Chain A
Amino acid sequence: MIRWSALGIAAFAALAIGVLVGPAHLPPGTVWHAVLGRGDDVTVAIVRDLRIPRAVLAFSVGGSLAVTGAVLQALVRNPLADPYLLGLSGGAGLGAVGAIALGLSGTWALPAAAAFGALGAIILVYRLAIVAGAVLDTRILLLGGVVVSAFTSAIVGAIMALSPAEQLRNALLWLLGGFDGASWLTLTVFAAYAVFPLALLYRASRQLDLLSLGEEPAAYLGADVEPLKRLLYVMASVLTAAAVAVSGIIGFVGLVVPHAIRMLWGHTHRALLPAAFLLGGSLLAGADALARTVFAPLTLPVGVVTAVIGVPVFAVLVRRWAS
């Protein structure tokens, strides 16, 4: 109960900070009034159309990445799995860099290209990992992810070597991750893709416990292992691709948050998944608030912030847990 309260408070605090801070210095009272729709138009617009959707989007993406990481760790039975392990980041990168090299422009060109690239990589890895016509081999899933990543990064390297550097700065910055494009529209699009997978993954949380024991014991305890593995892989992939489309590639959250929760909470997925969502969301919303204030008006890539804060915290956790 104490732990859940702490997580709830952290989530609320992260969202509040996300709305309270920003390049425009607004006192908390003014922000509060603006949230309620009172005050001058500019302030209300900043708070209601920029800060709130941005904070909520950062929170939802962070939560989704953390849930995805937790699910993939159980699926491949490897605590080092994270959402980008399965070739997804490589595919997304190739999509984004390819779009820019081809001169595609428009608000949605980059995200859409990245999402398509990610989905392409997912399908490729999935095809590789289906053996004997029907069985999803999670070991090959891991290897396939590594292989596809290596291949896509080679092609990205080739495109970059042959393109004017200036043109690619956008793509690289975008890939490093951030929420500069956040709006109610991006939030709605993300939510449309995320709600269903999140619900299905939560519904499968007991089956994730079984799968962590191994596929054979899981089957004898009552899990339909093959359909389950496919569901988990596809839903985790959709979630990650949606996250990549709205925020680029934000590392670290999907690996470390599930780990931290596993250490503090244990490995029962019914508690682990919601807890990971709350902590991942808090971390990313908080990190985004820092990313846009520390060097304001410049914005740091949010992935840099999550790593800079998260790594030391995680190291302390690991030490404490080991002793």
Chain B
Amino acid sequence: MGKLVFATRDLTFQFAGARTATIRDVDLSISRGELVGIVGPNGSGKTTLLRLLLGTIVPDTGSVMAFGHPASQWKRRDLARRVGVVTQSEEPAFPLRVRQAVTLGRYAHLGPFEALGAVDRDAVAAALTRADAIHLADRWTATLSGGEWQRVRVARALAQEPEVLVLDEPTANLDLRHEMELFELVTDLVRHGMTGLIVSHHVNLVARFVDRIVVMHEGRIAAAGQPNDVLTLEVLERVFAWPLEIVRWDDVPQFVPKRKSSVR
């Protein structure tokens, strides 16, 4: 099964001191070339699942495989050449120029004393161009808007030249246009051979872009499959605990939360 990027079996994880498990009995496989969305309300375990997949935390029971090896046993350097991650938030302790920040994406390709080469500079320039951030190259990261900073972080992940791009709530602070641009970019990258994994609570947006959607609820997978098969009123009202109306757009279900006054 060389086509599997991530595969979990009976995955359970509980934070030390927590009363209940954050992740329960999760079985999930992600294949090469897929664009998968993980959705669910706040606290449903999306980010924890992501950390388990990426090996930064270790499951209590069950297994997580990344590219056929236990995720937590990967050397971070080796994994970083295959998986680029844009985390939920990030505050650099010290100011950097955008180009420097994106160049940090080359770390996993460089020996400890190796100087940056033409290959690295080209990769950085290509990543900046791809993420539509090349015009920001000489700016200080602290002066960027939320949308610009997010694009720079995507560019940094692309500079890693990964096979898989993982984004955790990538559009949380973005306005409508930047949000759409980011999803379009990721879709386009996947069309060109990348594997994509997006965690978000924007069910509607994710449903319009991904091949497969995974709905998380209280640490379990509540539903998984093609958006059209999975996203039913019954599932989403239960998961998000709010009355919804279903409409169709772009041939996928979209959900409109109802006002309290309109609920009988």
Contact = CB atoms under 8 A, between A and B. Distances in A.
B22 interface: no
A266 B100 contact: yes
A29 to B, nearest CB: 42
17 contacts: A73-B93, A74-B93, A132-B16, A206-B110, A206-B112, A210-B104, A212-B92, A213-B90, A214-B91, A214-B92, A216-B90, A220-B80, A221-B107, A222-B80, A222-B81, A222-B107, A222-B108
Interface string A242-258: 00000000000000000
A77 interface: yes
A263 B160 CA distance: 28
Given A74-B93, A79-B94, A216 B80 contact: no
B61 interface: no
Contact of B107 (A206, A262, A266): A206
Interface residues of B, number: 31
A219 B107 CA distance: 11
Interface in A206-237: 206-207, 209-210, 212-214, 216-217, 219-225
Contacts of B91: 214
A217 B83 CA distance: 12
Contacts of A212: 92-94
Interface of B: 16, 54, 56, 75-77, 79-81, 83-85, 87, 90-97, 100, 104-105, 107-108, 110, 112-113, 156, 160
Contact of A214 (B16, B90, B95): B90
Nearest to B16: A132
A216 B85 CA distance: 10
A283 to B, nearest CB: 21
B83 A220 contact: yes
A114 to B, nearest CB: 31
A223 B110 CA distance: 12
A79 B93 contact: yes
Interface of A: 73-74, 77-79, 132, 203-204, 206-207, 209-210, 212-214, 216-217, 219-225, 262, 266-268
Nearest to B15: A132
A216 B153 CA distance: 13
A220 B107 contact: no
Nearest to B159: A221
Given A213-B104, A214-B91, A221 B16 contact: no
A214 B86 CA distance: 13
A213 B92 contact: yes
Given A78-B93, A217-B87, A224 B76 contact: yes
Contact of B105 (A132, A221, A262, A266): A221
Contacts of B160: 221-222
Contacts of B16: 132
Contact of B56 (A78, A214, A216, A268): A216
Nearest to A78: B93
B76 A267 contact: no
A221 B108 contact: yes
B116 to A, nearest CB: 10
B100 A220 contact: no
A225 B80 CA distance: 13
B79 to A, nearest CB: 8
Q: Please provide the 7 A-B residue pairs with the shortest distance between their CB atoms, ordered closest to farther.
A: A222-B80, A222-B108, A220-B85, A77-B93, A267-B94, A222-B77, A212-B93
Contacts of B83: 220
A197 to B, nearest CB: 15
Contacts of A213: 90, 92-93, 104
Contacts of A222: 76-77, 79-81, 107-108, 160
A209 B106 CA distance: 12
B113 A203 contact: yes
B107 A216 contact: no
A262 B94 contact: yes
Contacts of A267: 94-96
Nearest to A213: B92
Nearest to B56: A219
Nearest to B55: A219
A38 B27 CA distance: 82
A217 B93 contact: no
B22 to A, nearest CB: 15
B104 A221 contact: yes
A106 to B, nearest CB: 42
